[in-house]
Amino acid sequence: MAIITKSYEPTFWDKLYFPALFKGLMVTLRYFFKRKVTIQYPEEKYIPPDGYRGLHRLNKYSDGRIRCVACEMCSAACPVDCIHIIPGPSPWDEGKERYPVRFDIDLLRCIFCGFCEMACPEEAIELTEIYDFSDLTRENLLIDRDGLLEVYELTKNKNYYSQTKKSEKSET
């Protein structure tokens, strides 16, 4: 049994409760007139800093060839085994010999740790700044090679979110 002794004796001033109440209300009242910190999300987007670990993409060369050579370094480094690659001979004459015929990422399994982009020798796989990609079915969240290339087209200029109104709330 624990020792239950009372050593705290409130004074008369304490027992009134009102001073404590007003002291707290003064703090909250001061914030009533200050700038609001809420980001009105769907209208104004929070723009993540460079290097944010969001949705993946597969990079391309300027002439349209896929950078990936299907070496499977990323799927070896992945701690959750969410990357599945089937290699095949490259359809382009110049450059690398192999390219991914299939490149599937299970986005629901992925933990966005960034090990894949660190492991990639060709800088082909990269994590982008996209953070809102929830969906209604499991199948839609299984992204394939063409989907990853589409993400590249969307984010190559780094203005996926800045097309909408820029958030001025992020202060750091």
Partner 1 sequence: MQHDDVKSNVLTTTLESAINWGRKNSLWPMPFGTACCGIEFMAALAARTDISRFGAEAIRFSPRQSDLLIVAGRISIKMMPVLIRIYEQMPEPKWVISMGACASSGGVFDTYSVIQGIDRFIPVDVYIPGCPPRPEGVVDGLIKLQELVDKEKFSDYAPPATNS
Partner 2 sequence: MGVVHGQEMVLNIGPQHPSTHGVLRLQVKTDGEIISEIKPFIGYLHRCFEKHCENVTYEQVIPFTDRCDYLASMANNFGYVVAMEELMEIKVPERVEYIRVIMAELQRIASHLLALGTFGLDVGAFTPFLYMFRDRERILDMFEMTCGARLLYNYMWVGGLSHDLPIGFVESAFRFLDYFEPKIEEYNNILTYNKIFIERTADVGVMPADVAISYGVSGPNLRGSGVKWDIRKDEPYSIYDRFDFDVPVGIGEKGNLGDCWDRFNVRLTEMGESIKILRQALTQIPKNGDVHQTIPKKIRPPKGSIYKRTETPRGDLGFYIISDGSPIPNRLKMRSPAFTALSVLDEIGRGWMLSDVIAILGSLDIVLGEIDR
- Select from 21-29, 64-72, 78-86, 149-157 the region that touches partner 1 (CB under 8 A): 78-86
Closest CB 77 distance from partner 1, rounded Å = 14
Contact with partner 2 (CB under 8 A) among 4, 33, 62, 168? 4
For residue 76, the 8-state DSSP code is: H
Task: Centre a 10 Å sphere on the Cβ of residue 58 and count the other Cβ atoms it contains.
Answer: 22
Closest CB 129 distance from partner 2, rounded Å = 9
Q: Which of 71, 61, 56, 47 is nearest to 105 (CA)?
A: 56
Q: Which of 78, 79, 95, 75 is nearest to 87 (CA)?
A: 75
CA-CA distances (angstroms) from residue 49 to 9, 89, 154? 52, 37, 17
- Confirm or reject binding of residue 22 to partner 2 (CB under 8 A): no
HSE of 101 in the Cβ direction (CA atoms, 13 Å)?
Answer: 4
Residues that bind partner 2 (CB under 8 A): 1-8, 10, 14, 17, 19-20, 23-24, 26-28, 37, 48-53, 79, 111-115, 118, 127, 170-172
Q: Which residues bind partner 1 (CB under 8 A)?
A: 37-42, 45-46, 79-81, 106-113, 131-138, 141, 169
